Amino acid sequence: MSQQSYRGPGTQVVVQQAPSNSLGTAGFVLALVGWVSCGFLCPLGFLLSLFGLGKQPRGLAIAGTIIGGLGSTFLAFFGFALVMGLLGIGAVVDSTIALAETYTAMSQAADDVRQKYNENETLPGDTTGTVIVSKHIDGWSNPLRYRMVNDKEFELISNGPDGLADTADDVVSDYPAVPPPKPSQTRPGPQPTPQPNGPGDRNPDLIPTPADGVNKPALPDGQSGNNVNPIDPVAAAQARVDRAQDALRQYQEQNARIYGYIRTQQAIETYEPIKDTTVKAREMYEAALRAKEQIGVVDPAEVTTYKSEIRPLNDEVIRANAALRKAKRDAALP
């Protein structure tokens, strides 16, 4: 507190100045403004107000301490949530990129396996197949693995983010030994509906069994009823798989343009969210756009019809393969 004296003729007047607390005032102002800045200035206001508590008057310092403390607490929680959110977004982007790279590697590995199939007319075993695909690396820098499902199908497996085999995060994709047809520009017209077999009209997929006069499923190519029991469960199940896959393949060939459009649209939807993250993702996205442009405009009603008609064919392939696996287990075959 300071005093100033004014001397006049025979009179002395003393004026007292009110005490001030600059630290407390500055801390209060910063703490108050800090709420407008989402709490970023609140810690500074809290500290100045805290130091200002040692001086008089302490009213604004107390208010600044309370407001700054609340703002600092809010900022701490908000900052933590913001950092965790950014980390979470980064993890999702990284996972999406790794998954896209994994499927790209699987597609390349599947081509190598199919090349081996074309050379030997049979799929490689698990050990040989794993050696073939191990040069292809998934999105988590681990080699792919191979597993033979049957003589017409195989699986490619990625160990996933944890890098461990046979865990919950493994990525598994099934591939046929014979790839599906490539999309074309034209769609064939409707095919005639096969009529039920009548007298003298045998189904070429069936062979007669003179013993009981009942048609049995045809055996796989290269086999005949003279040296194989036509009622062998494994052979019958394999014949069912062949017929189911042939029916699915024929339908895809008849509707190749729609099939290509659907696969292209799926590729666009996969790579569009991540097209700006890596050069590879951008190339895949642009390639899908070019393929879609080549296919041209497709009526949505055609896509709906295609999906509804192909679903039972896919279901039959799944059921036939399940029946074949069961027949092999019952017969104790590999």
Question: Across residues 126-147, what is the average pLDDT?
Answer: 90
Beta bridge partners of 62: none
pLDDT over threshold 60, residue 190: no
pLDDT of 7: 54
Share of the chain above pLDDT 90, in %: 5
Higher pLDDT, 280 or 308: 308
Q: Which residues, at least 6 apart from 236, have a Cβ–Cβ distance to it below 8 Å?
A: 216, 217, 230, 327
CA-CA distance, 76 to 40, in Å (whole number)?
10
Higher pLDDT, 21 or 10: 21
Amino acid (1-letter code) at residue 140: W
CA-CA distance, 213 to 218, in Å (whole number)?
14
Which pLDDT tens digit goes with each residue over 281-292? 788 888 888 888
pLDDT of 143: 92
* Angle in degrees, CA 16, 19, 20, rounded to 5: 140
Stretch (H or E) spanning 11: strand 11-16
pLDDT of 4: 53
Tokens 């108050």, residue located: 32
b (16+ CB within 10 A) / e for 287-303 = ebbebbeebeebeeeee
CA-CA distance, 242 to 239, in Å (whole number)?
5
Which pLDDT tens digit goes with each residue over 260-278? 888 788 878 877 888 888 8
For the record, the structure tokens of 133 come out as 């695909």
pLDDT of 39: 64
Average pLDDT, the chain: 74
Stretch (H or E) spanning 111: helix 59-120
pLDDT of 140: 87
pLDDT over threshold 70, residue 69: yes
pLDDT of 156: 92
pTM greater than 0.85: no
Which pLDDT tens digit goes with each residue over 38-62? 666 778 777 777 777 777 787 777 8
First to last CA, the chain: 100
Is the distance from CB of 205 to CB of 221 less than 8 angstroms? no
* Stretch among 81-85, 100-104, 227-231 having the lowest mean pLDDT: 227-231
Amino acid (1-letter code) at residue 288: A
In the DSSP assignment, the letter for residue 151 is T
pLDDT of 200: 45
Which pLDDT tens digit goes with each residue over 308-330? 888 888 888 888 888 888 888 88
pLDDT of 204: 44
Is the distance from CB of 143 to CB of 137 less than 8 angstroms? yes
Kindly list the distances between the CA atom of residue 227 and the CA atoms of 147, 222, 224, 237, 307, in Å, as whole numbers in the listed order: 31, 11, 6, 17, 41
Amino acid (1-letter code) at residue 60: L
pLDDT of 133: 92
